[in-house]
Amino acid sequence: MTATTSRTVCISGGTSGIGAGLVGAFIEAGDRVVTFGRDPEKVAALAQRRGQAVASGALRLLVGDVTHADFREQLVAEIRDRDGRLDVLVNNAGVILSQGDIEETVEAWRTTLEVNLIAPFALTQGFLGLLEQSAAPVVINMSSACAQHPFETCTSTSYSASKAGLEMLTQRLAMALGGRGIRVNAVAPGVVESPMWGGASDLIDSTVKRRHRLRQEAIEPCDVARAVLFLASEDARRITGACLNVDAGYALG
């Protein structure tokens, strides 16, 4: 992968799971990372684990909710005042609030769409001016293999629908922002060992055995991070509007 100079990277939901893996990968690549989460304890735990990066200024952490407009404004101001530009935006924050099809509540749907679909649009919109200050701006949205087929193992309809919407948003933004030199892509993981799955270890095991065609193992956060690093790199300079599956064949059906 082509080496890059130090970039300013913003990762939503970077305190655990895939997000924490992304934070570590970009720091190790020599970039400056700004990330945030809603849970102060998780933010503090990440600060402790990444103490050296925090001390050097390679990692900055905030506590806030991506669905709140005032926090998004604070985040944009933080990066504008400290960095003057944004090179990479990774819309990673996501939730699965409930399981079911018609049984899910409207409230669960609303919150899921706010976090998984509306917030990525709002963050991209809010950062547009700072992205335009970058020599090679990139937006990467975290989708899911559940967006691509109504698998019976994807047991939250609101989650699957929100991620399907995110993939279309990725394509629409790629069309809209290409003329400004901004690339927009997505990554769609399969089953990842992540706190998002909670205590559903049995579901993870059965899904991996049935759907992961490659080695029947859960995806690790580092696998997803490698794909994101590639899409954020100069090696992917002609790639926009794409969704890269990191799913061990999950979406093959």
Report d(CA 188, CA 10) in Å as an integer.
19
Q: Is 68 exposed, middle or buried (0-12, 13-18, 19+ CB in 10 A)?
A: middle
Residue 37 near residue 63 (C-beta atoms within 8 A): yes
DSSP 84-138: S--SEEEE--------BSTTS-HHHHHHHHIIIIIHHHHHHHHTHHHHTTSSS-E
Distance CA 101, CA 156 (A): 6
To the query of whether residue 159 is one of the catalytic residues in this protein, the response is yes
Bridge partners of residue 35, in order along the sequence:
11, 61
Pairing of strands 59-63, 32-37: parallel
C-alpha–C-alpha distance, residues 137 and 56, integer Å: 24
Which amino acid, residue 137?
Answer: P
Alpha-carbon distance values, 109 to 76, 96, 100, 161, 174 (Å): 27, 10, 11, 9, 26
Catalytic residue from among 36, 109, 127, 159: 159
**Which residues, in sequence order, are bridge partners of residue 62?**
36
Active site residues: 159
